[in-house]
Chain A
Amino acid sequence: MVNITFDHYYRYDEVTSLLNAFAEEYPNLVKVESIGTSYEGRDVWLATVTNFETGAPKDKAALWVDGNIHATEVSPTTACFYLLNKLTSEYGTNDEVTRVLDTRTYYICPRVNPDGAEWALADKPKYIRSSTRPYPYDEDPLPEGLTSEDVDGDGRVLMMRMLDPNGQWKKHSDEPRLMVRRDPTEIGGEYYRILPEGTIENYDGATISPKPIKENLDLNRNFPAHWRQESEQRGAGPYPTSEPEVRNIVDFIMTHHNICGALTYHTWSGVLLRPYGTKSDDELPAEDLWTFKKIGDKGTELTNYPNISVFHDFKYHPKEVITGVFDDWLYDHYGLFAWTVEIWSPQRQAGIEEYKYIEWYREHSHEDDMKMLKWSDETLDGKGYIEWYDFEHPQLGKVELGGWDMMYCWRNPPPSLLEKEVAPFSDWMIWYALIFPELEIHQVDVTPLGGNHYQVRMVVQNTGWLPSYVSKQALAKKAVRSVIAEIDLPNNASLTSGKQREHLSQLEGRNGTSSSATPWSVSPATSDRAKVEWTVYAPEGGEITLIARHDRAGKVSTTIELGN
């Protein structure tokens, strides 16, 4: 067993040594490689997980799983490791795990953005969105404004409140720790201004703006689909895949056509997000939407996270869309059912149900806040919401520090709750890989025709739930070739009819099957199969090899002896 625990966030060196430990411990199941380097030159590690004895990784349908493209979203790395650990440690004992590694491949990239994560996990952390590359300007911001950082040396970045007659916040009447907004026409009370904990450079005594950040890339706006430049999409980068971290992923996926599905772990909100971010469900092919929802419903069943469309239910602002993101790219260009999982919802932890993921921040009931405080007090031993305490601020004078510790209990699960939160996803990822198309040989017949002629017939089938092409979108984008069958002949043999390489059809899966066998739903009955026939002239007999392969559904082959 690899010595790994899930109550701790790992820095880069630990991530590297853990991955290598898995590869050493499970040489038949795990291979680790670097798919490129980060901006600062760190290797971006990828674990390929499958039973190498049952076939090469590329000859099996594969699931891509990554995490931590955003610097501070470190629990995604944990979720990737949890999956890796489950697949390896339960191989041979858990039937589903065994089956999935025998027949499918996983590509797991636990830390896409090691540079940014390293800053987030430093002893004196610095929080940025993604990459540490200066962007859009390679210059230090002038020393002016508020830098969000730990000012009292306790390792936390909390909030600062100070009395201000024009403040927008006030103490809640029943729960003075809680800061709530002032009513529109309210005057004469005790009001506060609240700022993120931090220091202020060149303070003019009146206005405080956040100090501009030098590193403004958002790697998840740098993917090719619907990419828009900086003026329209902040953090986009100078051109699609301009950033090495993104380029690494895109190059790998583009050269591994066996990838049938993908998932990227983010934080936070406790939701399973699917494309599009930019358009309504009405604009997806109906069959793809149905399938997306079925996969999502399974995810919800296993993880309790709702599955939703970004466009309909997860826009940060109702009038704005975000573009250049991973999941839209993979679905729009290649027709993969790609998911973005936002790990962790502090609200749901506190027992708040049926809330709107984004709107809640703007508008919710104070009962919700009370529930959250109670949760912080009881479950987190008060470490989530900190009692306000006096602090002599170097620029602002007397302030109070306190309120929510965002990094501790909003951005990621607190370490003690981490394992419980990420564990259920592995089951979904196993289920997901098992629905991928799988090409198998249904039957092979050789019929002697006399005169050293043989009729060779091969029937292949898709035994997976998804069709070989995976989605209608993939067909529409011509992103996936149909099944190819090949025949290798023995010496001195030749083909009398048929070609050495035959293009067969796509093979349907079972995903379009209706709930029950109503008259409408029973045909066509064998669209999961395709047949190819050759007539071989083989005066000396010998062995022929039949191969069937499909970019996504895998590769199979068989060898038969021509009868005498």
Chain B
Amino acid sequence: MVDVSFDRYYRYDELTQIIHAFAEEYPNLVTVESIGQTYEGRDIWLLTITNGETGDASEKPAVWVDANIHASEVSGSSAALHLVYILTTQYGENDKVTLAVDTRTFYVIPRISADGAEWALADKPKIIRSSTRPYPYNEEPLEGLTSEDIDGDGRILTMRIEDPNGRWKVHDENPRLMVKREPDDYGGTYYRIYGEGLAENYDGITLNPKPIKEGLDLNRNFPNDWQPQNKQFGAGNFPLSEPETYAFAKAVDNRRNICLGTAYHTFSGVLLRPSARKADTDLPAEDLWLYQEQGKKGTEFTGYPNISIFHDFKYHPKQVLYGGADWMYEELGIFYWAVEIWSIQQQAGLKDYKYIDWYRDHDIDDDIKILKWCDDNLDGEGYVDWYEFEHPQLGKVELGGWDFQLAWRNPPPKMLEKEIEPFADWFIWQALSTPKLETFKTDVEALGNDTYRVRFAVHNTGYLPTYVTKVALEKGYVRGVVAEIEIPDNAELKTGKQRVQLGQLEGRALTGTSATPFAISGGANTADRTVTEWVVHAPTGTDITLIAKHDRAGTVRETITLE
């Protein structure tokens, strides 16, 4: 067994070791490769999980999972490893896992932003958005408030300072909690609150956050509708300018068998799907229906709501941001999800709140519930009682409040496994829904004079159509089934071409609920099948090979003897 546990976060060296341990422990199921290096030169690992004995990974339909493109969102790495763990340890035990690993491929990248994650997991952590490459300027910022642990307890909390013009005050009933000052609120004791950090070059009056030298957001560096820095903060110099995103894009493009995918992020406890920029009514209806079906299944497994980014997850109602999910779906036609792991609100029992709006406006009762949840479940470590500290620049302050990295950004380690555990089932379900090319039948008819008619019928036994999404069809990103015949030198093809294009095959998706008259009529009744034939002249007993392949649905080979 691989020595891995899901109650802690792994730094790069440990993660690398665990990834390779899986490949060593399960050589028939797991291979590891580096898809490229990060800015600082760390390998970005990709695990390929499939049963090598049942066929090449590239010849089976695939599900893709990546994680940790944002530096501090480390629980995604754990969730990705957990999937590998389930697929390997349950293989041969659990029928669905066995079937999925035998007939499909999983590609897993546990950590994209390996440099940034290393900072986030350091003993003295430094939290940045993504890459450690200086951007947009390669110079040290000179002044402002840093975000760091200043009292050496390994946490980055908040600092409060009494200030008659402060915008916060102590809550009446729960004095630990800081609440906003009301519009007509004057004459009380008020506070200014800063993030924990040092005030560099402080002028004694104004204190803004120190600009971050590493201002990249790798998830704004994808090609689809890429917008420069002035429109999208962290965009990078040009689409795929960063080694991490470039490696990612290349890895995806080299794996044309990817049908569905997920990017793990944190936090909010939601399953996000495209589009980020347009309403659901502007998506092809069939894609939307299938997205909704996948989402419903995901919600059933994980309890996370499934929502459209455009409709329910804009950071600002007027702002549209583009990320990898949009590129994967809108350009490549892959059903791609962004999972935001962990919601402290959901943990505390909040229901039906709005994921983004909540921060702007909510009931104080919600805070009290979350506080109570922290006290009961995190031994008070989620919300730290205010304690005095002599700040080198600001003088007497109090440190305390939310430990964002511990309780909000990711699941606290002891809750990690429970949180990420349900996702494997969803990915296995996704994998089993992919299209799957299989031989329906082959037959040979002797026409006399060493001439044979060879007929080759293949079908899609998967759920999704071979093209997976309407967008993939529209974008021309996915070719139809290609059939080939291989004959020895002493044989001759009389009719038919050696390579023939057979088009796309439908799956079972979009079947009506029950066999009503509308649901069984229209279109081809055997749209899951296609057939081609050749006439071959060859001596009796000649072996010929028939191949049918599809980028997404896989490859099949048959050897038949002419007789």
- Say yes or no for B461: interface residue by CB 8 A criterion: yes
Alpha-carbon separation in the docked complex, A366 to B226 (Å):
45
B441 to A, closest residue via Cβ? A206
Contact A185 B513 (CB under 8 A): no
Partner of B525 from the list A146, A172, A180, A205 (CB cut-off 8 Å) is: A146
- Among A188-196, A464-472, A540-548, the one that faces the other chain is A188-196
User: Contact mask B292-335 → A, CB, 8 Å, 1/0?
Assistant: 01000100000000000000000000000000000000000000
Tell whether A362 pairs with B513 under 8 Å between CB atoms, given A184-B463, A318-B281.
yes
Q: Which of B509, B517, B518, B529 lies at the interface centre, i.e. has the most chain A CB atoms within 10 A of its CB?
A: B517
Contact B508 A207 (CB under 8 A): no
Contact A204 B520 (CB under 8 A): no
Size category, A interface: 35 or more
| A contact residues around B511 at 8 Å (CB) | 168-169, 181-182
| A contact residues around B526 at 8 Å (CB) | 193, 206-209
Tell whether A169 pairs with B515 under 8 Å between CB atoms, given A195-B525, A207-B526, A318-B285.
yes
- Say yes or no for A401: interface residue by CB 8 A criterion: no
Nearest-neighbour CB distance to chain A for B372, whole angstroms, equals 39
Nearest-neighbour CB distance to chain B for A340, whole angstroms, equals 18
Nearest-neighbour CB distance to chain A for B337, whole angstroms, equals 15
**How many interface residues does B have (CB within 8 Å)?**
42
- Say yes or no for A109: interface residue by CB 8 A criterion: no
Alpha-carbon separation in the docked complex, A406 to B520 (Å):
11
Partner of B524 from the list A187, A207, A364 (CB cut-off 8 Å) is: A207
B515 to A, closest residue via Cβ? A179
Tell whether A184 pairs with B515 under 8 Å between CB atoms, given A205-B457, A206-B440, A207-B530.
no
User: Contact mask A157-197 → B, CB, 8 Å, 1/0?
Assistant: 00100000110110010000011111011010000011110
Alpha-carbon separation in the docked complex, A159 to B512 (Å):
15
Contact B520 A361 (CB under 8 A): no
Alpha-carbon separation in the docked complex, A208 to B529 (Å):
9
| A contact residues around B518 at 8 Å (CB) | 361
Q: Which of A206, A318, A319 lies at the interface centre, i.e. has the most chain B CB atoms within 10 A of its CB?
A: A206
- Say yes or no for A339: interface residue by CB 8 A criterion: no
Alpha-carbon separation in the docked complex, A508 to B23 (Å):
84
Contact A185 B457 (CB under 8 A): no
| B contact residues around A319 at 8 Å (CB) | 284-285
A159 to B, closest residue via Cβ? B520
Nearest-neighbour CB distance to chain A for B518, whole angstroms, equals 4
Alpha-carbon separation in the docked complex, A368 to B519 (Å):
15
- Say yes or no for B111: interface residue by CB 8 A criterion: no
A298-320 CB contacts (< 8 Å) to partner B: 317-319
- Say yes or no for B459: interface residue by CB 8 A criterion: yes
Contact B99 A362 (CB under 8 A): no
User: Contact mask A113-154 → B, CB, 8 Å, 1/0?
Assistant: 000000000000000000000000000000000101000000
Contact B512 A181 (CB under 8 A): yes
Nearest-neighbour CB distance to chain A for B458, whole angstroms, equals 9
Alpha-carbon separation in the docked complex, A562 to B40 (Å):
110
Contact A362 B524 (CB under 8 A): no
Q: Which of B433, B509, B513 lies at the interface centre, i.e. has the most chain A CB atoms within 10 A of its CB?
A: B513
- Say yes or no for A210: interface residue by CB 8 A criterion: yes
Contact B433 A208 (CB under 8 A): no
Contact B529 A207 (CB under 8 A): yes
Alpha-carbon separation in the docked complex, A380 to B289 (Å):
34
- Say yes or no for B339: interface residue by CB 8 A criterion: no
Contact A403 B433 (CB under 8 A): no
Contact B520 A180 (CB under 8 A): no
Contact A410 B517 (CB under 8 A): yes
A402 to B, closest residue via Cβ? B515
| A contact residues around B122 at 8 Å (CB) | none
Contact B455 A204 (CB under 8 A): yes
- Say yes or no for A363: interface residue by CB 8 A criterion: yes
Q: Which of A179, A184, A196, A318 lies at the interface centre, i.e. has the most chain B CB atoms within 10 A of its CB?
A: A184
Alpha-carbon separation in the docked complex, A317 to B285 (Å):
8
Contact B524 A404 (CB under 8 A): no
A166 to B, closest residue via Cβ? B461
Alpha-carbon separation in the docked complex, A168 to B506 (Å):
11
- Say yes or no for B96: interface residue by CB 8 A criterion: yes
B521 to A, closest residue via Cβ? A196
Contact B515 A363 (CB under 8 A): no
Contact B432 A180 (CB under 8 A): no
| B contact residues around A196 at 8 Å (CB) | 520-521, 525
- Say yes or no for B528: interface residue by CB 8 A criterion: yes
- Say yes or no for B174: interface residue by CB 8 A criterion: no
Supply 22 A–B pairs (Cβ within 8 Å), ascending by A: A159-B515, A166-B461, A168-B508, A181-B511, A184-B508, A185-B432, A185-B463, A187-B432, A204-B531, A206-B441, A207-B526, A208-B525, A210-B525, A317-B285, A319-B284, A361-B512, A361-B516, A362-B519, A363-B512, A363-B513, A369-B513, A404-B516
The 4 closest A-B pairs by CB, nearest first: A185-B432, A406-B517, A206-B457, A179-B515
Residues of A within 8 A of B (CB): 146, 148, 159, 165-166, 168-169, 172, 178-182, 184-185, 187, 193-196, 204-210, 317-319, 361-366, 368-369, 403-404, 406, 410
